[in-house]
Amino acid sequence: MNNCVHDHGSWGAGDQLGAANQLGPETTLAALSLAKSGQVLDLSHVIENGAPFMAPNQTPYVIHSGATARNSMRIRAGMGATNQVGANLERVGMTMHVGTHIDALGHFSIGEHLYGDHTVDESVGDFGLLNLGIEHIPPMITRGVCLDVSGLDGGEYLGVGRAVTTDDLKRCCEARDIELQAGDAVLVNTGWGRFFMVNNSKYLEGEPGLDVGAAQWLTEKGVVAIGADNMALEVLPGTNHPEIMMPVHQHCLVEAGVHIIENLVLADLARDGINSFCFVLLPVKFKGATGCPVRPVAIL
């Protein structure tokens, strides 16, 4: 990857959508045609106190009860209400990158450059992103493809620092007779998701994940999103050049305009050998946010 020159894709300077430009009525109808039984698999984790997060840039998810039914009944009685009306409310503090979430294209930069020839100076304000925020991601209804690489080394999951390479992905596709298509959302199951909220210290100590070559191979196929059952999609710690940090994020988000989905629940898809399915993901339009929690589903 060249840290000075980047590719804003085929959609032109100033674009806000990236590879999601490929989504539309045709991809939606093709994806919906894959649903045969109507079974829905939830591909997301519950977000709760104690959910793992990557310090120091991220902060923990914290939920506090605000108004409670008992207190609000007293308040409303004082306002003249006679029907014992109560309501429960809460306050939540979190980064948008806790739990199952999708990264906006403005989440990462290469130096001062963001996707689509946007710059940090023109795109990052005091109250979030002015360009490339999560509100620009359209609803994703497209073909999902699950690439299960968890057993590549003979176990139930890959180990910390195990790089998933282009050759690994190619062999996985060949073994399952999968041909990737432009517009796909590719979800990589490493087996690492088994540790989420079960052994968070292990989950965060590093992870198996894509190397840059594998990410480039996927983006060259024209995929709109790449996800995994780990915290950062890419292999951690990185390989070969430890001084280069998060290069897969830089390639996908800045160079290719391809969204990243993290902390997915893919064990059921992998267990049942489900390779392709109707994939639905609806980002919440938090204006200016660099990502947001999501609840993606596979409709079978």
Same domain, 36 and 127: yes
Amino acid making up residue 100:
T
Task: Provide the domain limits for residue 292.
Answer: 18-47+96-299
| pLDDT of 3 above 80 | no
Same domain, 41 and 122: yes
pTM of the model: 0.94
Q: Which pLDDT does position 12 carry in this prediction?
A: 84
Amino acid making up residue 150:
S
Same domain, 166 and 70: no
The enclosing domain of 169 has a CATH number of 3.50.30.50
Same domain, 79 and 100: no
Q: Are 257 and 8 in contact (CB under 8 A)?
A: yes
Instruction: Give dist(CA 146, CA 192) in Å, integer.
Output: 15
Same domain, 70 and 219: no
Tokens of 147: 């690439």
- Cβ-based neighbours of 62, under 8 Å, separated by 6 or more: 49, 92, 93, 94
Closest CA to 184 of 232, 216, 229, 140: 140
On the question of a cis peptide bond just before residue 296, with omega within 30 degrees of 0, the verdict is: no
Same domain, 278 and 141: yes
| pLDDT of 4 above 80 | no
pLDDT tens profile 73-120: 888 889 998 888 899 999 999 999 999 999 999 999 999 999 999 999
Strand, coil or helix: 185: strand
Average model confidence (pLDDT) across the chain: 94
Residue 45 Cα distances to 82, 106, 276, 281, angstroms: 41, 24, 21, 14
| pLDDT of 153 above 80 | yes
Low-confidence winner among 10-19, 31-40, 242-251 (lowest mean pLDDT):
10-19
Q: Is residue 202 part of a domain?
A: yes
Same domain, 127 and 33: yes
Q: How confident is the model at residue 9 (pLDDT cuts 50, 70, 90)?
A: low
pLDDT tens profile 171-213: 999 999 999 999 999 999 999 999 999 999 999 999 999 999 9
Residue bearing tokens 């059921």: 268
Same domain, 117 and 229: yes
Same domain, 101 and 187: yes
Same domain, 84 and 177: no
Q: Which pLDDT does position 75 carry in this prediction?
A: 86
- Cβ-based neighbours of 55, under 8 Å, separated by 6 or more: none
- DSSP of 221-249: TT-SEEEESSSSSB-BS-SS-TTS--HHH
Question: In total, how many domains does the chain have?
Answer: 2
Q: Which pLDDT does position 6 carry in this prediction?
A: 39
